[in-house]
Amino acid sequence: MSDARTDRDGLASPQRRHVLGRGLALVGGAVVGNAAAEKAAAESAAAPPDVPEWMKAPGADVGSEPYGSPSRFERDLIRNIPKSLPQYTSASSRTPLQDLDGIITPNGLFYERHHGGIPEIDPDRHRLMIHGLVERPLILTMAEIRRFPSESQIYFLECSGNPGFEAMTGRTASDLVGLVSCAEWTGVRLRTVLEEAGLKPEARWVVAEGADAAAMTRSIPLAKCLDDAMLVYSQNGERLRPQQGYPLRVLLPGFEGNMSVKWLRRLNVTAEPAHSREETSKYTDLMPDGTARQFTFMMEAKSIITRPSGTQRIARGFNEITGIAWSGRGRIAQVEVSVDDGQSWTVAQLQAPVLTRALTRFRLPWTWEGAPTTILSRATDETGYVQPHFAELTAVRGVKSFYHNNAIIPWRITASGEVTNGFLKA
């Protein structure tokens, strides 16, 4: 069993104990990054804790929450919703990445992006129509869709404007790249359903349409539909939430989130793409020469340090640097962390399992001596692609683009341990 342990954490080294040895000296002192906790720590060192009042009487009944919810002490841990939007029908809310651990995003905190609000769909009345260049047009009920062979996969989902090129002024990790989340999805391989309908030889695209007020419409290349694309009805074990497309959505692993059409009602198999609004005036990339790149589906390799990150504060001594990395092209091969603004890089530990097109958690132990600095992370995926600096990105793409910004995110740390967005002036 000790072998398994060594496999899993990769940290069982003399160096680790040394780091912890330094940590120990700190644990007894005032080290914890905010005044209240420092005070509490100082008190706790003085006397053992009394029996707390919550041990002196029975607690709440089993089943007091037939469907559970977080502690009331966590009521501020909610989706990050812009306060200044003109309207909320076509808008987004972000996952609070800086407060989350691991790689699974709980359904209640999964990011949202809607173009016509969130429809409330009766699953018994919902239908999926498959038509166009098929041998046998089909109209399927949800019960019929659930009869197909199923699969479950852990995949990230990310909005392609995460963040927009001109939207890098946020304070927190969530403000910057909170339009990414990760879940275990269950459904049927899209290929299976298309084979049921029978593709005609001239089929090249599948146009997906949502049953929301925006009738969200995106064209998906047939190759993706026959590869790892899914029709999804469950997320993290339970049925999709309304915000995520209940009762049925497309899931295109690694592609920009907008294409994973929610509230799916129609798949039209075609020879040409639809050139819908969301693939012409929107979700295209304006290049320096004035042309627009269309059908830029892939979400390239990216990472962000979530702790320490903007608005947090660190103390001198041991700090674990941790964050998430992901690539639409497959597995994360490596994440490097710099604690000196890019002068040098150290390979971080990756938490197993490292899954294709899923978030990957990385960690690096770090002892901060108190000098101001900037910390960075950069991901490399299994294709060898390396996450670029923002300047490298704009050298190719110019500054007129909005979508597909996967630049390295810098966090500035002041002498007092405050962490701020390194894109902004100090």
User: With respect to its own copies, which residue has the nearer C-beta, 240 or 393?
Assistant: 240
67 binds its own copies (CB under 8 A): yes
Nearest to 253 by CA among 368, 339, 347, 151: 151
Chain centre to alpha carbon of residue 341: 25
User: With respect to its own copies, which residue has the nearer C-beta, 196 or 341?
Assistant: 196
260 binds its own copies (CB under 8 A): no
User: With respect to its own copies, which residue has the nearer C-beta, 149 or 290?
Assistant: 149
Residues 176-205, one symbol each (x = binds its own copies by CB under 8 A, - = not), give -------xxxx--x-xx--xx---------
Cβ-based neighbours of 398, under 8 Å, separated by 6 or more: 286, 287, 288
Of residues 105 through 134, those in contact with its own copies by CB under 8 A are 105-110, 112-114, 116-127, 129
Stretch that binds its own copies, among 73-81, 290-298, 373-381, 407-415 (CB under 8 A): 73-81
**Range list of β-strands (E), 223-310:** 230-235, 238-239, 249-251, 264-270, 285-286, 292-293, 302-307
User: With respect to its own copies, which residue has the nearer C-beta, 193 or 393?
Assistant: 193
Residues 320-359, one symbol each (x = binds its own copies by CB under 8 A, - = not), give x-x-------x--------------------x-x-xx---
For residues 189 and 194, what is the distance between their CA atoms, to the nearest angstrom? 9
Of residues 304 through 323, those in contact with its own copies by CB under 8 A are 318-320, 322
CB of 357 to its own copies, least distance (A): 10
**Interface pick for its own copies out of 13, 17, 291, 396 (rule CB under 8 A):** 17
User: With respect to its own copies, which residue has the nearer C-beta, 171 or 265?
Assistant: 265
Stretch that binds its own copies, among 222-230, 279-287, 392-400, 406-414 (CB under 8 A): 222-230
Nearest to 251 by CA among 268, 270, 235, 272: 235
**Interface pick for its own copies out of 14, 54, 202, 272 (rule CB under 8 A):** 54
164 binds its own copies (CB under 8 A): no
Cβ–Cβ < 8 Å for 205, 194: no
| CA torsion through residues 385, 390, 395, 399, sign | positive
User: With respect to its own copies, which residue has the nearer C-beta, 91 or 274?
Assistant: 91
For residues 223 and 107, what is the distance between their CA atoms, to the nearest angstrom? 30
18 binds its own copies (CB under 8 A): no
| CA torsion through residues 111, 324, 184, 63, sign | negative
48 binds its own copies (CB under 8 A): yes
72 binds its own copies (CB under 8 A): yes
**Interface pick for its own copies out of 23, 164, 398, 417 (rule CB under 8 A):** 23
Of residues 83 through 102, those in contact with its own copies by CB under 8 A are 87-89, 91-93, 99-102
Strands 264-270 and 127-132: parallel
Measured torsion, CA atoms of residues 199, 201, 207, 208, in degrees rounded to the nearest 10:
10
**Quick one: three-class SS letters along 367-389?**
EECCCCEEEEEEEEECCCCECCC
**Interface pick for its own copies out of 63, 86, 201, 290 (rule CB under 8 A):** 63
143 binds its own copies (CB under 8 A): yes
User: With respect to its own copies, which residue has the nearer C-beta, 310 or 317?
Assistant: 317
Stretch that binds its own copies, among 56-64, 159-167, 296-304, 417-425 (CB under 8 A): 56-64
For residues 184 and 206, what is the distance between their CA atoms, to the nearest angstrom? 24
Could you tell me how many residues of this chain bind its own copies (CB under 8 A)?
145
| Single-letter code of the amino acid located at 347 | V
For residues 323 and 100, what is the distance between their CA atoms, to the nearest angstrom? 10
For residues 353 and 349, what is the distance between their CA atoms, to the nearest angstrom? 12
User: With respect to its own copies, which residue has the nearer C-beta, 142 or 408?
Assistant: 142
The length of the chain, given as a count of residues: 426
Q: Which strand (E) or helix (H) includes residue 192? A: helix 190-197
User: With respect to its own copies, which residue has the nearer C-beta, 106 or 164?
Assistant: 106
User: With respect to its own copies, which residue has the nearer C-beta, 191 or 400?
Assistant: 191
DSSP secondary structure letter of residue 53: G
Using alpha carbons only, what angle is made at residue 246 by residues 232 and 101, rounded to the nearest 5 degrees? 70
Cβ–Cβ < 8 Å for 130, 194: yes
CB of 294 to its own copies, least distance (A): 21
**Interface pick for its own copies out of 140, 259, 264, 407 (rule CB under 8 A):** 140
Of residues 379 through 408, those in contact with its own copies by CB under 8 A are none
**Interface pick for its own copies out of 13, 18, 35, 139 (rule CB under 8 A):** 139
Sheet holding 317-326: strands in order across? 302-307, 317-326, 360-368, 349-350
State phi, psi for 382 to the nearest 5 degrees: -70, -10
